[in-house]
Amino acid sequence: MLEELIFRIMLVVMWLVFAIPRIYYRRKAARPTGTEEDAKKDHREGFGWVQILIAISILGMFISIFAYVLMPLGLIWFPLPLPSIIRWGGVVLGFCCIPLLVWVHRELGRFYAPELAIKREHEIIMTGPYQYVRHPMYTVFILFTLGILLVASNFFIAIFALLIILLLYPNSKQEERMLLNKFGIQYQEYMNRTGRFFPRITKPRKLDEDALHAE
């Protein structure tokens, strides 16, 4: 019982510490900075079905974590029997995601937007984690969500966690379509040498010669 209480406390601390940089950078993005041209959006995606499902999954996960922490008996019928060492591994994974999140935000800088949008003066970021993966922020979300799943060790929370992880794939595809429309072959070449969420382990494919010279 004491160990379970410790895991509940660690889960709350993980969530709160992770939320600090998220809130900071979202508020920073909401403030007008730089030139008026920098703040303009060249393209903004509407709130589609993928984003709706992600929002519902995040809300469901938040409610289930709230129940797990404050009303553990309410989720007593949904245990996911994981050994303690795996759950402590989830704690380590969760806390490791926090500096990674800050790193991604710092590299993205003024081009960060809370919604799917491309700014008028947008550029392709290829430094820091963006040298290896196209969506390192999603990578952080995947790892942090997995950490929460392991620490909570609960089927109910796992359902929402897995939904979030799975929905990030179509969300990233939608973002890549926007960037391809904006940057064309430049972004296609970038996609060819990087992984989506994790570094590419295979050799880059040779691009079509006609595509390389396409306008």
- Contact between 196 and 134 under an 8 Å Cβ cutoff? The reply is yes
- For the chain, the domains span 2-29+48-198
What b/e sequence results for 91-111 when a residue is b if at least 16 CB atoms lie within 10 Å of its CB, and e otherwise?
Answer: bebbbebbebbbebbebbeeb
- Contact between 198 and 138 under an 8 Å Cβ cutoff? The reply is no
DSSP bridge partners of 44: 117
Q: Which CATH class is domain 2-29+48-198?
A: mainly alpha
Three-state DSSP state, 154? strand
Q: Quick one: 38 exposed, middle or buried, by C-beta within 10 A (0-12, 13-18, 19+)?
A: middle
Q: Residue-wise pLDDT tens for the chain (215 aa)?
A: 788 889 989 998 999 999 999 999 888 877 665 544 444 555 555 567 888 898 899 898 888 888 877 776 656 667 778 899 999 999 999 999 999 999 999 998 888 877 777 776 778 899 999 999 999 999 999 999 999 999 988 888 889 999 999 999 999 999 999 899 888 899 999 999 899 999 988 766 665 544 444 43
Q: Quick one: 174 exposed, middle or buried, by C-beta within 10 A (0-12, 13-18, 19+)?
A: middle
- Here the tokens at position 122 are 């947008």
CA–CA separation, 170 vs 176, rounded Å? 10
Residue 181: other Cβ atoms inside 10 A: 12
